[in-house]
Amino acid sequence: MPIIITCVPKKGVHPPHMYLNSNERRISHITRSQFTLSLCQCVYIYIKSFSAHTVSVASIGKGYRLISIEEVDGGILGHLQVKEKNNIYGPDIPLLQLYVKHETEDRLRVHITDAQKQRWEVPYNLLPREQPPKLKQTIGRTRKNPIAVSEYSSNGLIFSYSADPFSFAVKRKSNGETLFNTSSDESDPFGPMVFKDQYLEISTKLPKDASLYGLGENTQPHGIKLYPNDPYTLYTTDVSAINLNTDLYGSHPVYMDLRNVNGEGAAHGVLLLSSNGMDVFYTGTSLTYKIIGGVFDFYFFAGPSPLAVVDQYTAFIGRPAPMPYWSLGFHQCRWGYHNLSVVEDVVENYKKAKIPLDVIWNDDDHMDGHKDFTLNPTNYPRPKLLAFLEKIHKIGMKYIVIIDPGIGVNSSYGVYQRGIANDVFIKYEGEPYLAQVWPGAVNFPDFLNPKTVSWWGDEIRRFHELVPVDGLWIDMNEASNFCSGLCKIPKGKQCPTGTGPGWVCCLDCKNITKTRWDDPPYKINASGLQVPIGFKTIATSAYHYNGVLEYDAHSIYGFSQSIATHKALLGLEGKRPFILSRSTFVGSGHYAAHWTGDNKGTWEDLKYSISTMLNFGIFGVPMVGSDICGFYPAPTEELCNRWIEVGAFYPFSRDHANYYSPRQELYQWESVAESARNALGMRYKLLPFLYTLNYEAHLSGAPIARPLFFSFPNYVECYNVSTQFLLGSSLMVSPVLEQGKSQVKALFPPGSWYNVFDMTQAISSKDGKFVTLDAPLHVVNVHLYQNTILPMQQGGLISKEARMTPFSLVVTFPAGASGVQAKGKLYLDEDELPEMKLGNGYSTYVDFFATTGNGTVKIWSEVQEGKFALSKGWIIDSVTVLGLGGSGKASTLEINGSPTNANSKIEFNASEQST
């Protein structure tokens, strides 16, 4: 039976159906000019002919035995010997080194590598961390500090092991619960640990009621929880986000495990720090890693709250980057703003429609021939562009442009000339590796090379002198290649031709299968179809600085580019950088924001966007959002209404559309403009709250957008809620995600919740419940939880204006309660300073408190570094108190210990209650 593939191209061209015979082994056998998986977004129905090398568990290996163990450097060091060799997926590595250390009370590391030869690991200069002990050249000799016990404990976690066959377990110290267990018996669907040069396998048992989250980047159709037997492949790939259960742009081999025992929720995190491609098989009762290289480098984070897990995780991988205030405003972009006058019209039309807008973007339309760091002299003449930027900068708006990593091979192109002169490109057989992206033939910079980082910084500096951009958008950095294999520039024909789709390969290419790096023994489920791992990217036998193989370094390409770009921007004007990166890895959030890539203007994609956003918060990338209204094809008017009502509450809020799609700026439909004014109007009032969440994220990794279980870990009903989300700990968004609906069924965890659009409306319940909410077309339901003090401002059309308006406080108490306390916080600073911290004279931090009891509401604050806020003239203009019983009136209100006067703007609401 043939495989039928329906291909919807990324850039709008519709080729016919294409067929593969069921006995085809590789998708690269299709004519490349007909099919480009990385740029054709395929919805496919097929009989799976790409078998995953079904090899019986028992035949792969019998595991290892522990032959020595000792205390060393604050940890334990052991050696493992293979029990029985075989050659399935290659020969076993005979001797392994085991290193275990409690790096903090809440973080445990388990590192296993070849005992005799250095292996590839994520570079320690890119992701700084402790080095394991150097490899021992003599194995099995008598140790000075031998260990007899089989447990190794901290205050948070216990590591235990069995010697023959070797296995290990990680337990929670407080209750002895097993969190990770690699032992196996005949009843398990997995076997003992396997460690070969290009195939590593290890598994853990799991309880049936464990809820797992993470292992991305992928689009998960079943919601945020990992779903048994769905494929989870980690390998950075330019495959559109419309492809479900497929390895996408980022690689984050980390998961959070949330369990509820006797009504108490407890979470922990597990990171396998590896940049090598891997399949992860989750059955519901076990999880198996199959990795095609590198080492086992596990980190366990004890939690026990979901927030504590992310705190411990980001303390290790790097805290999220501080974002400038303006970046939390609304952004507008489109691929296809053909000239500057179109961009000017967009800005003017947003102003006319009274829809907030902070940042205008250019895709590659501003470039000369799609070449990085250039301007099209006809469509974006520099004098006119500079005049436009001066105009928008004066009112506080910002401008961001795209750059791709591929540098056009063009002898008259200064960026390329300087790149060749500085020897900055990835190599293949001694020459810069040739690929094709938008400019045509390109070479890829090697960001593992220090010289490349310097050259890249210099090119960004030169470009910034040409165009004073306010941030950079780094795209196509998986890296994406329109061709596969070893290519040459064709003689006698133009490439690209300038007509037809620009993503069709026009180089002369041949497949590379001669090395084990291009054709590894185990085939991961790359692109969801087990295509060769070099398909539509850099050949995996190409090499980086110091001989590092692309095979190993592939998934850190975008990460290394983010680091180099961040360094460059920081060095320009000493301002806080803003970088948006498509490809991400463990630690990318320390440098960049992320959007979820090429999505579709469909109701399904609107729904998927929430799960992906919430996952990235867990990954330590809190500044995240999806293309509002969808990247392609055209959204319906109703969908765009509903999408802005969700997207207005993404941490990163941007409308972006495809070159071939009709225009979809929010003012294009009056109904969408109304929804935008409503939803974005609330966002701009909430900017001080969002900016304070940005500060919290930078300090502790706390996601800006969070699943409900982050605030309610004991409430099992919210463990799989993927259609609602929290901003911070207390602001809940419950959007309409289905066509034709004017109501939404939303889960309300126990307590009192107040509608922020109409504060007289509230919902309360003792045990939590689902409530059907009215949601006409222009209405989005956003509720504020009890015991909260929410700082707001009056809003505006630009964040610079909005942040100078007076503040108000909304204080929420449990409905009718007395003797309770509410809390809130507010962080303010000079937002373009590179560091986000107190003590520099340009920041203020306020803790707010309120209590109610005996007919009195007391509100007070504790201020750190108050001088900055005073210098700005910021004042609290009004206070709204929600949740008081009776008539809703208190006989006395005290602010900072003093009774208020009769003219104060104090509002008490006895909200309508639903019980």
Alpha-carbon distance values, 584 to 92, 474, 647, 861 (Å)? 32, 11, 21, 40
pLDDT at 530: 84
Q: What is the mean pLDDT of residues 511-524?
A: 92
* 687-700 vs 306-317: helix crossing angle, rounded to 10: 60
Q: How many CB atoms lie within 10 A of CB 886?
A: 9
Percent of the chain whose predicted confidence (pLDDT) is above 90: 83
Query: Minimal CA–CA distance to 692: which of 801, 591, 802, 792?
Result: 792
Range from 583-587, 853-857, 865-869 carrying the lowest mean pLDDT = 853-857
In the chain, where the domains are located: 63-317, 325-695, 724-905
Three-state SS at 379:
coil
**Identified catalytic residue from 372, 475, 552, 865:** 475
898 contact partners, CB below 8 Å, separation of at least 6: none
pLDDT tens column, 566-589: 999 999 988 999 999 999 999 999
Phi, psi of 536 (to 5 degrees): 60, 35
Fold of 325-695: TIM Barrel (3.20.20)
pLDDT at 45: 26
Q: What is the mean pLDDT of residues 328-352?
A: 98
Cα–Cα distance for residue pair 525/268, rounded to 1 Å: 27
pLDDT at 34: 29
Cα–Cα distance for residue pair 846/741, rounded to 1 Å: 41
Q: What is the mean pLDDT of residues 781-809?
A: 98
**Structure confidence at residue 906 as a pLDDT band (50, 70, 90):** low
Judge whether 85 and 91 are in contact, CB under 8 Å: yes
In terms of residues, how long is the chain?
915
Tokens of 480: 């994406």
* Count of helices and strands (H, E) across the chain: 14, 53
Bond from prior residue into 496 cis (ω within 30 degrees of 0): yes
368 is catalytic: no
Q: What is the mean pLDDT of residues 828-846?
A: 95
Cα–Cα distance for residue pair 290/555, rounded to 1 Å: 16
**Structure confidence at residue 505 as a pLDDT band (50, 70, 90):** very high
Tokens of 43: 């919805």
Cα–Cα distance for residue pair 386/380, rounded to 1 Å: 10
**Structure confidence at residue 54 as a pLDDT band (50, 70, 90):** low
Q: What is the mean pLDDT of residues 543-572?
A: 97
Cα–Cα distance for residue pair 478/456, rounded to 1 Å: 18
Cα–Cα distance for residue pair 526/245, rounded to 1 Å: 11
pLDDT tens column, 94-127: 999 999 999 999 999 999 999 999 999 999 999 9
**Structure confidence at residue 911 as a pLDDT band (50, 70, 90):** very low
Q: What is the mean pLDDT of residues 456-469?
A: 98
Judge residue 230's burial from the number of C-beta atoms within 10 Å of its C-beta, 0-12 exposed, 13-18 middle, 19 or more buried. Answer: middle
Q: What is the mean pLDDT of residues 22-43?
A: 30
Q: What is the mean pLDDT of residues 54-76?
A: 86
Judge whether 276 and 234 are in contact, CB under 8 Å: no
Range from 5-19, 371-385, 612-626 carrying the lowest mean pLDDT = 5-19
Spell out the long-range contacts of 141-145 with Cβ–Cβ below 8 A and sequence spacing 24 or more: 141/68, 143/68, 143/69, 143/70, 144/70, 145/70, 145/71, 145/72
Alpha-carbon distance values, 528 to 241, 478, 586 (Å)? 12, 16, 22
Alpha-carbon distance values, 429 to 273, 292, 739 (Å)? 29, 23, 55
Q: Do 63-317 and 724-905 show the same overall fold?
A: yes
Q: How many CB atoms lie within 10 A of CB 168?
A: 23
pLDDT at 891: 54
Judge whether 857 and 788 are in contact, CB under 8 Å: no
The one-letter code for the residue type at 681 is G
**Identified catalytic residue from 598, 605, 627, 831:** 598
pLDDT at 63: 96
Does residue 541 surpass a pLDDT of 90? yes
pLDDT at 853: 87
The pLDDT mean for the chain works out to 90
Three-state SS at 260:
strand
Which residue is it, tokens 């306020």? 846
pLDDT at 514: 81
Range from 312-326, 384-398, 408-422, 505-519 carrying the lowest mean pLDDT = 505-519
Does residue 448 surpass a pLDDT of 80? yes
**Identified catalytic residue from 363, 365, 470, 478:** 478
pLDDT at 56: 67
Does residue 38 surpass a pLDDT of 90? no
Judge whether 259 and 265 are in contact, CB under 8 Å: yes
b/e sequence 564-601, b meaning 16+ C-beta within 10 Å: bbbbbbeeeeeebbbbbbbbbbbbbbbbbbbbbbbbbb
Judge whether 134 and 115 are in contact, CB under 8 Å: no
Does 27 or 491 have the greater pLDDT score? 491
Range from 57-61, 330-334, 699-703 carrying the lowest mean pLDDT = 57-61
pLDDT tens column, 709-730: 999 999 999 999 999 999 999 9
Cα–Cα distance for residue pair 429/231, rounded to 1 Å: 35
Cα–Cα distance for residue pair 429/822, rounded to 1 Å: 65
830 is catalytic: no
Does 31 or 749 have the greater pLDDT score? 749
478 is catalytic: yes
Distance of CA 106 to the CA centre of its chain: 24
Does 660 or 425 have the greater pLDDT score? 425
Q: What number of CA atoms fall less than 13 Å from residue 594's CA on the CB side?
A: 33
pLDDT tens column, 588-604: 999 999 999 999 999 99
- CATH code of 724-905, in short, is 2.60.40.1180
- Give the CATH number of domain 63-317; options: 2.60.40.1760, 3.40.50.300, 1.10.3720.10, 2.40.420.20: 2.60.40.1760
Does residue 553 surpass a pLDDT of 90? yes
**Structure confidence at residue 138 as a pLDDT band (50, 70, 90):** low
Judge whether 152 and 144 are in contact, CB under 8 Å: no
Cα–Cα distance for residue pair 717/722, rounded to 1 Å: 12
